[in-house]
Amino acid sequence: MSEREINKRLQKSIAVIVCCGILLLAGGGIFVYFLSNTLQEAIGVNMQEETDEYKKRIHKQFASDVQLLESLAELIGSAGLTEREEFPELLEQVIWKNDFLTMSYVGADGMGIVVMSADGVQEDVPLETMQEETRAVAEKAFKGEIGVSRLFLSDFSSERVLAYGVPVYQGQRIIGVLMASSHVGIFSDILSGNRVMGGTGRIHMVSSTGQFLIFTRTVVADPPESLFGEPYLEGEELSRIQELLKQDQQAAFSFQHEGTRYRALLEPVGINGWYLLCVNSIEESSHFVLMVAEGAAVLLLAVMLLFSFLLIYGYRLTRNGNRALFRLAFYDPLTGALNFAGFRREAKEALEADPEASMVSLNIHQFKFINEILGKERSDQLLKQVKEQADKELTDGELFCRTSADHFYLLLKDTDRTRIWERMTRIMDGIQPAAAGEHDDYRVLFYCGVVVSSRKETLYSMDQMQTHVMFALAKARERHQNTIWFFDTKLHEKEVMDNYVEGHMNQALEAREFRLYLQPKISLGSGQIGGAEALVRWIHQDGKTIFPDQFIPLFEENGFCARLDLYMLEQVCRRLREWTDAGLEPVPISVNQSKLTFFMPDYVNRIMAIVDRYQVPPRLLTLEILEGTALENVEVMNKRLESLHKKGFRISMDDFGSGYSSLNILGKLKIDELKLDRGFLMEAAAGENPNAGLIMEQVVQLSKKLAISTVVEGVETEANEQLIKGLGCDYGQGYLYSRPIPEEEFTERWVSRAKETPAP
């Protein structure tokens, strides 16, 4: 994995983590929001429950006190107890038993008895002198209702008290009222200002008109008389609440005081129009939620930080590890240059960006010996010098690498051969002095192969460049001085072909892939066929045809031509035999014989063996030898010609005029036929050189005198035919009549039934 890829992955991971973080934070936010909502709801419920509890307790106490008074009132009325002397004592006993502060009885005349828990009994106390709150209760009771006072400070006990009063009946008539006051122990919590709701809330009692009845330590330091006003209720909110209270309904509101927000619940007690007021600070009650939220946020942040830290740490670790691995995998430890893997990697990228470039493979000539002569250390030094020199030449984006021992590759942006030549020469020349020293006379030689990939010529892929540069290098290696060899596509194709041909020729011969093709030779006088030339075609198994110019020159070099020529001669003989056997008129056939074949020591015997095997008269065979072959050694040649003539073969000199032809040769060599090279005709036909026709005419005339028949090759048009006819040539051969065609086709088209020859 490359550093770039790691970076990409890291960026991806960071993006994922950031996304996760955002999601987590959002989730956390939503969670905290819901938690806070739920908590607020729970607080609301809690406030309600606590308030209800107080309400219940008030009711219970109230109910028991009022019930006691009622039953006592009934007893007093029915038994006429008020008349009795012990009536005050009775009341005293009730006080003691029920924890009342005072008890009083006021008769219809408005005079009453007041019994106090601490101070004994006061008799004949006029109602008017009693405390206002007591009076109010009495008045209510006289009307037949149960009276309950608001809380007030008792004159007798200096305690906050509550007074109750019930009517005392005698029959249907109210004869007085029985009252009791009790210190409101039941409200002790409220009174003492105890906090409710786990300490964050307070509970007070207010009247339906907003008056604070029972309260200590309200949230407002200097508590106002009434709830209806600052900071509790104002404006519209006040009217809304007042409306609700009028209807004896529950009400909830919130208010702000000294920067704190409070929730408040007003719960009707159901007695005297009282309300329980529960106040709770939102901030304080939300404290837990805020703490949870803060904690969650801190935790999240910590987790994310830890994550990021681990990621960056991991990345750095991987990067450093990778760098080390990179160096190992893609660099050469000795020179610090890229190694081959590194070179390939970067060259591929560079070529993708710009395919016009050149690849150079540079080697040191005979490095093994240099190692021995200079020693390992100095040789290593030499290799480092190569890198230094290359570095001097390389521009941005160009590459240099050492693949092994003394093998180097360069990727240059240049495609101009001269520039490449100059640059590589500078590199090679620059290294010479460094290698000198003790062995001053030792000259280090280099050789390098170059392949150029350009749009103007050919664009090569990385792999193609790599293989081609090896071919160029091999060519360069064949020379011995500082050589630079450029890869040549055409040359290479030829080499590839040669390689194929050489590698396959033997099996092709056995597999009968060399086929006999025939091209007719037309008599210009009669227009009739006068013979045919045997031309070889290599038909590969897959049907691909390889033409002779692609393999004959190579076979001449490697000697295979001798085998092929004899093989072809045999094919020709077979064909002649088949014609004869089929009752067809055999057409004389010319067979090309290479110099190698022609000068085989037992050449004549060999061809005779073939001819004899097929029982073919040699006069049907013409041996075509090249002008060059004929010129080699006239005397030896003539001897050979003589023995061939004796056997009955005809001899033709091929390609006359293509080389350094000399008319002299015609007089010296005993040949039967002269084949004028296609070039001759082309030149004469072009009309540019008026001498061409003249020379041709002279050759033909001279040949005639020497009884040599003439054949002109390459007759392609009627005009060509007219031209050579006019020059007096005997035969024409060329595409005008027919291309070389497979022997079977030739048989069909050109070979006729043999004329009945009368028996001798």
Site of interaction with ligand C2E (CB under 6 A)? 519, 535-536, 547-549, 552, 561, 565, 568, 592, 594, 654-655, 678, 713-716, 733-735, 740
Q: Closest separation between CB of residue 716 and ligand C2E, Å?
A: 4
Nearer to ligand C2E, 705 or 749 (CB): 749
Choose between 469 and 616: whose C-beta lies nearer to ligand C2E: 616
To the nearest whole angstrom, how small is the minimum distance from the Cβ of residue 713 to ligand C2E? 6
133 binds, among Ca ion, ligand C2E, none (CB under 5 to 8 A by kind): none
Extended beta strands in 649-730, E state: 650-656, 673-676, 709-713
Complex with ligand C2E: residue 356 or 556, whichever CB lies closer: 556
Q: Which part of the chain contacts Ca ion (CB under 5 A), choosing from 66-74, 292-300, 442-450, 655-663?
A: 655-663
Handedness of CA 301, 302, 303, 309 (dihedral sign): positive
What are the DSSP E strand ranges found in 417-494? 446-453, 483-486
Separation in Å, CA 426 to CA 345, 393, 394, 432, 448: 27, 8, 11, 10, 13
Work out how close the CB of 651 gets to Ca ion at its nearest, in angstroms, rounded to a whole number: 12
CA-angle at 445, arms to 439 and 448, nearest 5°: 160
> What is the nearest approach in angstroms of Ca ion to the Cβ of residue 675?
5
Nearer to ligand C2E, 77 or 657 (CB): 657
Residue 372, Cβ neighbours under 10 Å: how many? 11
What is the Cα Rg of the chain in Å?
Answer: 66
Amino acid letter, 43: I
392 by Cβ neighbours in 10 Å (0-12 / 13-18 / 19+) ranks as: exposed
Among 240, 212, 236, smallest CA distance to 226 is for 212
CB of 688 to ligand C2E, least distance (A): 19
CB of 570 to ligand C2E, least distance (A): 11
Contact region with Ca ion (CB under 5 A), list: 98-106, 129-137, 646-654, 728-736? 646-654
Give me the least distance between CB of 366 and ligand C2E, in Å please. Answer: 41
570 contact, one of ligand C2E, Ca ion, none, CB 5-8 Å limit per kind? none
CB 484 within 8 A of CB 424: yes
Q: Is 166:68 a contact under the CB 8 Å cutoff?
A: no
Distance, in Å, from the CA atom of 752 to the CA atom of 748, rounded to the nearest integer, reads: 8
Q: Which residue type, as a one-letter code, is found at position 57?
A: R
Q: What is the full DSSP assignment across 57-71?
A: HHHHHHHHHHHHHHH
CB of 515 to ligand C2E, least distance (A): 10
Smallest separation, CB 427 to ligand C2E (Å): 45
Sole residue written with tokens 């200002």: 193
Contacts with 591 (C-beta within 8 Å, 6 or more apart), sequence order: 534, 565, 568, 569, 572, 621, 622, 623, 624
Alpha-carbon distances of 163 from 66, 132, 188, 336, 507, rounded to whole Å: 10, 11, 16, 107, 137
Q: Would you count residue 627 as binding Ca ion (CB under 5 A)?
A: no
- Does the footprint of Ca ion cover residue 181 (CB under 5 A)? no
User: Under the criterion CB under 5 A, does residue 624 sit at the interface with Ca ion?
Assistant: yes
**Nearer to Ca ion (CB atom), residue 252 or residue 631:** 631
Query: Is 683 a residue that touches Ca ion (CB under 5 A)?
Result: no
What residue has token string 């540079």?
A: 362
Which residue number, 50 or 654, has a Cβ lying nearer to Ca ion? 654
CA distance 760 to 743: 32
**Site stretch for Ca ion (CB under 5 A), options 121-129, 237-245, 491-499, 707-715:** 707-715
Residues whose CB is less than 8 angstroms from the CB of residue 123 and which lie 6 or more positions away in sequence, other chains included: 88, 113
Instruction: Please state the closest distance from residue 678 (CB atom) to ligand C2E, in A.
Output: 6
Closest residue to ligand C2E in the complex (CB): 734
Cβ(177)–Cβ(105) under 8 Å? yes
Choose the one of Ca ion, ligand C2E, none that binds residue 535, judging by a C-beta under 5 to 8 angstroms depending on kind: ligand C2E
Cβ nearer to Ca ion, comparing 167 with 531: 531
> Which range, of 327-335, 421-429, 579-587, 710-718, touches Ca ion by CB under 5 A?
710-718
Query: What is the rounded CA–CA span in Å between residue 51 and residue 746?
Result: 126
Out of 133, 332, 654, 673, the only residue in the binding site for Ca ion (CB under 5 A) is 654
Nearer to ligand C2E, 332 or 565 (CB): 565
- Stretch in the footprint of Ca ion (CB under 5 A) among 278-286, 497-505, 508-516, 622-630: 622-630
Nearer to Ca ion (CB atom), residue 654 or residue 743: 654
CB-based contact 435:374 (threshold 8 Å) = yes
**C-alpha–C-alpha distance, residues 354 and 604, integer Å:** 63
> Closest distance between ligand C2E and the C-beta of residue 681, in Å?
9
**Binding of Ca ion at residue 592 (CB under 5 A)?**
yes
| Binding range to Ca ion, per CB under 5 A, among 143-151, 367-375, 385-393, 624-632 | 624-632
Q: Coil, strand or helix: which one is 343? A: helix
Could you list the residues that contact Ca ion (CB under 5 A)? 592, 624, 654-655, 713
